């Protein structure tokens, strides 16, 4: 497949897609077909494959794509993936936060009374590392759907989740207690491609930095 300088690029669907396609536009790729067909996943003529953001590191690590665009949150959660992080693309800014129901902090109360708090999240590795670093005992409950539901039903005292504006949290009566980090979209590369196609990848980086 031929993309920018013959590279194949894994692009995230969902919230990051529009800005990711802007990156491809900056590389001189024709993204019209990608924009026009929201069901098709593989665009061989321009070397683009679209997928869930969480799958991008998998495809890049395996060499099914030379480059990929995904969030820093995904990279931190999948820190075992052997990919190179090349560039902070600066879009898709979100915050990873610890949130609980409004009012007296139930997580702090659970820690005081029981020495442990229950925390629901889609990011178990990030959450575990954070509480370990801050010296607090937490029982991590991994959930796949709406994390905000967990504290409302009494399943947990707190959640660790990604938020862009905090609106969904507020609408569900939750408040942010702590901020873990800010995440933006990153450009990543397959390590082998980074060596064998170094000049092509360097050219991509140069063009993106000049945007």
Number of other CB atoms surrounding residue 86 within 10 Å: 18
| Same domain? 48 vs 113 | no
- For every one of its 211 residues, what pLDDT tens digit does the chain have, with 9 covering 90 and above? 344 568 999 999 999 999 999 999 888 888 888 888 766 766 666 688 899 999 999 999 999 999 999 999 999 999 999 999 999 999 999 999 999 999 999 999 999 999 999 999 999 999 999 999 999 999 999 999 999 999 999 999 999 999 999 999 999 999 999 999 999 999 999 999 999 999 999 999 999 998 8
Residue 30: its pLDDT value, please?
Answer: 80
Which residues span the domain enclosing 43? Answer: 4-92+184-209
Residues 144, 172, single domain; the answer is yes
pLDDT at site 36? 80
Same domain, 25 and 64: yes
The span from the CA of 151 to the CA of 57, in Å, is 30
In the chain, how many domains are there? 2
Is the distance from CB of 156 to CB of 120 less than 8 angstroms?
Answer: yes
Same domain, 8 and 85: yes
Side-chain-facing half-sphere of 123: CA atoms under 13 Å: 26
- Model pLDDT, residue 1: 36
Rg of the chain (C-alpha set): 19
User: Domain holding 154: CATH number?
Assistant: 3.40.190.10
Structure tokens at 25: 């536009």
102 and 86 within one domain: no
168 shares its domain with 103: yes
State the pairing for strand pair 174-183/94-101: antiparallel
């Amino acid at each position: 497949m031929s993309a920018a300088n013959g590279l194949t690029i894994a692009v995230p669907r969902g919230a990051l897609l529009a800005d990711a396609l802007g990156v491809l536009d900056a590389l001189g790729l024709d993204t019209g077909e990608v924009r026009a067909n929201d069901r098709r996943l593989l665009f061989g003529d321009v070397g683009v494959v679209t997928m869930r953001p969480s799958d991008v590191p998998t495809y890049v690590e395996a060499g099914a794509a030379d480059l990929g665009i995904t969030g820093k949150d995904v990279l931190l959660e999948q820190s075992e993936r052997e990919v190179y992080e090349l560039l902070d693309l600066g879009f898709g800014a979100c915050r990873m936060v610890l949130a609980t129901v409004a009012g007296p902090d139930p997580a702090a109360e659970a820690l005081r009374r029981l020495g442990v708090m229950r925390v629901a999240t889609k990011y178990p590795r990030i959450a575990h590392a954070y509480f370990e670093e801050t010296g607090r005992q937490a029982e991590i409950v991994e959930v796949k759907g709406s994390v905000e539901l967990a504290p409302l039903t009494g399943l947990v005292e707190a959640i660790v989740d990604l938020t862009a504006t905090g609106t969904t949290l507020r609408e569900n009566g939750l408040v942010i207690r702590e901020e873990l980090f800010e995440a933006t979209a990153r450009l990543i590369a397959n390590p082998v491609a980074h060596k064998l196609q170094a000049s092509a990848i360097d050219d991509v980086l140069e063009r993106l930095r000049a945007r």
